[in-house]
Amino acid sequence: MFFCDIRLPSNISPKSKKSKKRKKLLIKHIIEIIESNNKRNNDIIFEQSIVCPYCKGNNYIKNGKNDDRQRYFCKTCGRSFMEATNSVIYHTHKSVDLWKEYVKCLVNQYSLRRCASVLKINLKTAFFWRHKILDALQEQLEVDEMSGKIEMNTIHMKCNFKGNHSRSSFTMPRKSSRRGPVSIEEYFSQDHVCIMGAMNHTGDVIMKPVCINDPGVEDMLDAFKYSIKQGSTLITDTRYNYKKFAEICNVEHVILKRFSAYNAEYNLRKITGFLKKYEYFLKPYRGVATKYTSGYISLYKYIEKKLYIKREYESNDNGRFRFVNKYKTTPLFKCSSHSYFNKRLKNRPVIFKGTAVLDVLAMG
Determine, yes or no, domain membership for 205.
yes
Helix (H, G, I), strand (E, B) or coil at 324: strand
Question: Which is more confidently placed, 301 or 14?
Answer: 301
| Among candidate residues 211, 265, 262, 279, the one with its CA nearest the CA of residue 241 | 211
Q: How far apart are CA 116 and CA 112, in angstroms?
A: 6
Alpha helices (runs of H) in 39-171, residue ranges in sequence order: 96-107, 112-119, 123-140
Indicate whether 157 pLDDT > 90. Answer: no
Indicate whether 339 pLDDT > 70. Answer: no
Question: Which is more confidently placed, 336 or 79?
Answer: 79
- pTM (whole model) above 0.85: no
Determine, yes or no, domain membership for 6.
no
Determine, yes or no, domain membership for 221.
yes
pLDDT of the residue at 70: 84
Question: Which is more confidently placed, 65 or 189?
Answer: 65
Residues 6+ apart with CB under 8 A from 198: 146, 150, 151, 152, 205, 206, 207, 224, 227, 228, 271
Indicate whether 156 pLDDT > 80. Answer: yes
Q: How confident is the model at residue 69 (pLDDT cuts 50, 70, 90)?
A: confident
Residue 211's CATH number: 3.30.420.10
Question: Which is more confidently placed, 8 or 56?
Answer: 56
pLDDT digits (tens, 9 = 90+) for 237-276: 988 899 999 999 999 999 988 777 677 788 898 899 999 9
Q: How far apart are CA 291 and CA 285, in angstroms?
A: 15
Determine, yes or no, domain membership for 105.
no
Q: In what order do the strands lie in the sheet with 69-74?
A: 60-66, 69-74, 80-82
Average pLDDT over all residues of the chain: 74
pLDDT of the residue at 357: 40
pLDDT digits (tens, 9 = 90+) for 91-113: 778 887 888 888 888 888 899 99
Residue 177 structural domain: 146-279+291-305
pLDDT of the residue at 143: 74
Question: Which is more confidently placed, 126 or 353?
Answer: 126
Q: Which amino acid is at 88?
A: V
Q: How far apart are CA 174 and CA 190, in angstroms?
A: 8
Asked whether 229 and 145 are in contact (CB, 8 A), the reply is: yes
Indicate whether 309 pLDDT > 50. Answer: no
| Among candidate residues 118, 78, 82, the one with its CA nearest the CA of residue 101 | 118
Residue percentage of the chain with pLDDT more than 70: 68
In the chain, how many domains are there? 1
Indicate whether 151 pLDDT > 80. Answer: yes
Q: How far apart are CA 16 and CA 346, in angstroms?
A: 35
pLDDT digits (tens, 9 = 90+) for 210-248: 888 888 898 899 888 888 988 899 999 988 899 999 999
Indicate whether 188 pLDDT > 50. Answer: yes
Determine, yes or no, domain membership for 131.
no
Determine, yes or no, domain membership for 150.
yes
Indicate whether 352 pLDDT > 60. Answer: no
Question: Which is more confidently placed, 22 or 277?
Answer: 277
Indicate whether 133 pLDDT > 80. Answer: yes
Q: How many residues does the chain have?
A: 364
pLDDT of the residue at 153: 93
Determine which of 46-55, 300-309, 337-346 has the lowest per-residue pLDDT on average. 337-346
N- to C-terminal Cα separation, the chain: 27
* DSSP summary character for residue 176: P
Helix (H, G, I), strand (E, B) or coil at 277: helix
Determine, yes or no, domain membership for 27.
no
Determine, yes or no, domain membership for 16.
no
